[in-house]
């Protein structure tokens, strides 16, 4: 399981590190995850039980958000979309999330 460096966490999530550990170790946890889509789509959201399938052990998705329920997951997608629109003027969410990490790396590199 891979997690986005700037993980979006829903407001009702109490202990995101514990949830991340459970997701990595395929332990039972009842949350929804927002992931970067493997195909042409931008983002996907689904229940964490879906990640217990064998396919995801060999092809782990990149989790960009964790939410306690479906509505909160939709709110995370809306927040990412709004940030992307405000910062880039378009809604290419995959590229925005990649760019956000690159910009932070460039910023941190220029300080040292």
Q: Residue 25 and residue 58: Cα distance in Å, rounded?
A: 13
Residue-wise pLDDT tens digits, 42-84: 999 999 999 888 888 888 899 999 999 999 999 999 999 999 9
Task: Find the helix or strand (DSSP H, E) in which 70 lies.
Answer: helix 70-88
Q: Residue 105 and residue 45: Cα distance in Å, rounded?
A: 27
Q: What is the pTM of this model?
A: 0.85
**Tokens 């509505």 -> residue:** 71
Task: Find the helix or strand (DSSP H, E) in which 28 lies.
Answer: none
Edge to edge, the sheet with strand 2-9 lists 2-9, 62-67, 32-36, 43-47
Beta bridge partners of 8: 65
């Amino acid at each position: 399981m891979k997690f986005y460096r700037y993980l979006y966490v829903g407001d009702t999530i109490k202990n995101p590190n514990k949830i991340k550990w459970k997701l990595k170790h395929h332990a039972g946890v009842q949350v929804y995850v927002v992931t970067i889509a493997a195909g042409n789509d931008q983002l996907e959201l689904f229940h964490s039980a879906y990640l217990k399938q064998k396919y995801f052990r060999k092809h782990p998705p990149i989790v960009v958000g964790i939410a306690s329920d479906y509505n909160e997951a939709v709110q995370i997608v809306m927040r990412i979309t709004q940030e992307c629109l405000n910062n880039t003027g378009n809604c290419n969410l995959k590229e925005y999330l990649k760019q956000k990490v690159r910009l932070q790396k460039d910023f941190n590199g220029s300080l040292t």
